[in-house]
Amino acid sequence: MTATDAMSRVVRALAPQSFELTGSVDIANVYRTALHQKRVLLFLDDAYDANQVETLVPPSQSCLVITSRQRILLPGASTDVLSTLSVPDSCRLLSRICPRVRDEAHEMAELCGCLPLALRLAGTALAARPDLTIDQYVQRLREERTRLELVNATVEISYQLLPQESRDAWRRLSAFRGPFDVQAAAAVLAGTERAVSDTLGNLLRHSMVEWDSASSRYSVHELLRLVADSRLGDSERDQIHLRYAEHYQDRLRSLKMEYRRGNESTLAALQQFDRDMPHIRQAIEWVRARLARGATYKNLFSLYLDAGVDIFPIRFEAKDLVAWLTTQSRRRGRSTKWAQPLLTWGTWEPRWKGLVITRAQYACRKKLSRPQDALGILEALSTPSAISRRSISVLENSRKASSLHCSRYV
């Protein structure tokens, strides 16, 4: 609907007999006259942009409420950005639509991403199908395809309003399963930080991404991310995920260097790692699943283990490290027995964990003919007092001693 059409509707609703609306009439003047000295609440739903609604702003006695997929700024107007519902509110909404939803409401709310539209569609589907049990529908919701169907239609409207460049960017941002910064987005989108920042700003105005001012990071709602990912071709998806994995390997390597400077630099490196840890873990697992594809993935996997040699032992669980190091050792055609003592290291001091991972990684990287040599040192490390001076020397020579002073930050 155009602004002229909207003004004509308002005029006819307020004074149907007073004005004759023809092509020669200045509809804007008639509109202002119809609203003069009246207290009217105007509700403009799903406005496209500021240009569409600025001529509809009524006199000061009246009130104007606008909803839009974009962030619209008008002089004198206040803006409120609506986020998703809370889980308790989502559960209450589901229960109102379909009263038989009780204990399963919490999981349904989470599967719907607490999006009002998705919640309404899910609740309505259950209310309309008394023959469908709650458990059966929850099982369907667990399938990615069902959740896509809940939001695909409404997302399509916003998607089509985007310029092509922003559409391409939004699809590719589906690589991020959590909050991300501009630098990471620039790496995935293969653009400059300034250009990507402008693109993210455009997506933010269209409510296709979210912004958290506390962390200075963007994010894509999980349901929207699924829609974005579904619009990627296989080749495009592989390309952006490889960029994603390469970026976080580069970042991890820079954190390794910062960590080794000691003192406050070590603390800063650990704090940054904690913010990026979900992405680093996701990237490692993605690369690990593709090792059979060739040298690119094999080399990247090795680079990750090397770059994380200092921080992984004090941030990841032993089972993850065992899995990754076992994969590396098998790829080298070596025994994996040496990795198992890592499973018992829950109470070890951080610096001993660092020594363990360094030595184990050294064994893989150097293709030692006897990885079992590492086993004896690993077993000795389970009782630090039993470590010989020679073992200490071998381990500490593999890495600068300054990188080991991390216990105060753990």
* pLDDT value, residue 168: 95
Please report, for the chain, the start and end positions of each structural domain, with discontinuous segments joined by +. Answer: 3-68, 87-142, 164-230, 234-409
Strand 41-47 with 63-68, pairing? parallel
Q: What pLDDT shows up at residue 282? A: 94
Name the residue among 202, 220, 223, 217 with its Cα closest to residue 71. 202
pLDDT of residue 283: 96
Report the half-sphere exposure of 138 (CA within 13 A, side-chain side). Answer: 14
Residue with tokens 């996997």: 301
Q: Are 104 and 122 in contact (CB under 8 A)?
A: no
What's the pTM? Answer: 0.61
Torsion angles phi and psi, residue 13, rounded to 5? -70, -35
Q: Give pLDDT, residue 8.
A: 80
Q: How far apart are CA 126 and CA 338, in angstroms?
A: 53
Q: What's the pLDDT at 16?
A: 66
What CATH class has 164-230?
mainly alpha
Walking along the chain (410 residues) 10 residues at a time, the average pLDDT comes out as 79 69 67 85 80 83 82 78 83 89 86 80 79 83 71 72 90 95 97 95 85 91 86 94 97 93 85 92 94 92 88 77 74 55 49 55 46 43 40 42 34
Quick one: which of 158, 131, 147, 165 has its CA closest to 49? 158
Alpha-carbon distance of 270 to 408, in angstroms, equals 12
User: Residue 397: its pLDDT value, please?
Assistant: 45
The answer to whether 339 and 318 are in contact (CB under 8 A) is: no
Count CA atoms closer than 13 A to 147's CA, side-chain side.
24
Residues contacting residue 62 through CB under 8 Å, at least 6 positions apart: 35, 38, 39, 40, 41, 42
Q: Is the dihedral of CA 49, 51, 52, 58 positive or negative?
A: positive
